[in-house]
Structure 1
Amino acid sequence: MLNQDRAQGTHLRPYLRVANVQWDQIDTTELAYMDFPPEEQDRYRLRPGDLLVNEGGSWPGRAAVWNGEVPEIYYQKALHRIRARGQERTRWLYYCLVAAERMKVFQVQGNTSTMTHLTREQLRPQRFPVPDVVTQSRLIAELDGAAQRDSAMQRLLSRQLDLLAERRQALITAAVTGQFDVTTASGRNVTEGVTV
């Protein structure tokens, strides 16, 4: 963990914090630096394919796979790093964590009187289905495709909402400045009393 001694030193390296790990993405725009002595570098250095899982914060269990965007980077103690053994896919475990979060597994198991944490001792006994690697790869591809379509739809809806808000504001401005006659806005011709 970062403390006053670790905030300075001869082996300052960028590292990821809980705030950097979002669902299915890792934000590297604002990296913090901490001293990682050579004897600790192997233990805390990330490799592409490592799964990072938040232990605490506002969303315990939130996870993302590290893809190696920064050549040499480390992680802090408040994150769990899960590394695949053999041909297992960490992306599969990511989707298992998403399903567990949606079913509120970690919130139910957490201490509700204080901030919920997903400690190593709580994470280790979790049981997730682990199909063979070919099945994992096929399901990951399907889930990634669905996630991409969902993101595209969210972006489209967000642009539509922005456009509607912009047009609403333009209409209000036009009405207030007299550029738009609100008496005819209903579609009725006021003088003849008929709908146009």
Structure 2
Amino acid sequence: MAQVPSGWKLVCLKRIAAIQGGLTLGKQYEGPLIERPYLRVGNVQDGYLDLNDVSVIELPASVTSGVELRAGDVLMTEGGDLDKLGRGHVWNGEIPGCLHQNHIFAVRCFPHKLKPMFLAYLTASGYGRDYFEATGKKTTNLASTNATKVGEFPIPLPCLAEQEAICSYLKKNLGEVKRIVTGIETQIATLTAYRKSLIHECFTGQRRITDADLNRVQAHG
């Protein structure tokens, strides 16, 4: 049982959100068809959406209503690597009329109970990762969860105002962490490129090893 602060509740997700299943591929449809974009698991990455390659499908207009995304839906993946099960990201209507495949759950938070961004942050936390890794069904190379396990995810639930405050705090501070990480990654890339260049110059004779270089090596040896 999770320890939650005084005044918070521990509530199963299914009690404060609707969990929408997605589109099953491979079905044959008859009658007039329309073309719609849809998201695959590969489009929902860890902490962001990759919308560079979005698939399309033809299907009857009557089928789309039950698998269409709405702004504010939290996208949660059903399968993949164990550490990525149930990862959540908020859909902000980036592609109008977009649907989702059945390997992605669209979690529609009840607005008077749960903030979508609060849920997304919770799925990315150690608490969320521990739940999905513990409850996921594991195979040799992959793992999976299901709508039941997603619905049973126990949410430590503060009031809406506190959820909003937590999200604002995380957005500000995670933005600073991302800035630092980007700076470090840039430095690493620069040093890696310099290392490769230095090795190339030495082996092609563009840079000669001097007595001073040898003396420094010996001095530090």
Over residues 16-75 of structure 1, what are the superposed CA-to-partner deviations in whole Å (9 max), with x where a residue is unaligned? Answer: 011111122111110111234222222111111110000112232122111111122111
Q: Give the Å deviation of 1:101.
A: 6.2
| TM-score normalised over the length of structure 1 | 0.85
How many residue pairs align between the two structures?
Answer: 190
Give 1 or 2 for the bigger CA radius of gyration: 1
Give, in whole Å, the separation in 1 of the partners of 2:171 and 2:76.
19
Distance 1:170 1:116, change over 3 A: closer
Identify the residue that residue 76 of structure 1 maps to in structure 2: 101
Identify the residue that residue 119 of structure 2 maps to in structure 1: 93
1:66 matches 2:96: no
Q: Give the Å deviation of 1:100.
A: 4.9
Give, in whole Å, the separation in 2 of the partners of 1:23 and 1:144.
16
Q: 160-169 vs 109-118, which deviates more?
A: 109-118
| TM-score normalised over the length of structure 2 | 0.77
Give, in whole Å, the separation in 2 of the partners of 1:81 and 1:52.
5
Give, in whole Å, the separation in 2 of the partners of 1:126 and 1:69.
27
Identify the residue that residue 112 of structure 1 maps to in structure 2: 138
* Partner amino acid, structure 2, of 1:64: H
* Partner amino acid, structure 2, of 1:26: L
Give, in whole Å, the separation in 2 of the partners of 1:84 and 1:194.
65
Preserved contact between residue 16 and residue 76 of structure 1 (Cα < 8 Å): yes
Structure with greater proportional strand content: 2
After superposition, residues 6-25 of structure 1 pair within 5 angstroms as 10-25=33-48
Q: Give the Å deviation of 1:194.
A: 9.3
Preserved contact between residue 24 and residue 65 of structure 1 (Cα < 8 Å): no
Distance 1:194 1:92, change over 3 A: closer
1:26 matches 2:44: no
SS at match of 2:137: coil
Identify the residue that residue 163 of structure 2 maps to in structure 1: 136
Distance 1:112 1:38, change over 3 A: same
- Structure number with greater CO (CA < 8 Å, separation at least 6) is 2
1:54 matches 2:81: no
SS at match of 2:156: coil
Preserved contact between residue 100 and residue 106 of structure 1 (Cα < 8 Å): no
Give, in whole Å, the separation in 2 of the partners of 1:24 and 1:194.
48
SS at match of 1:106: helix
Over residues 84-135 of structure 1, what are the superposed CA-to-partner deviations in whole Å (9 max), with x where a residue is unaligned? Answer: 2124311101111112566532122223346421101111112111111111
Preserved contact between residue 73 and residue 90 of structure 2 (Cα < 8 Å): yes
1:188 matches 2:215: yes
Distance 1:126 1:4, change over 3 A: closer
Give, in whole Å, the separation in 1 of the partners of 2:52 and 2:143.
27
Preserved contact between residue 138 and residue 144 of structure 2 (Cα < 8 Å): no
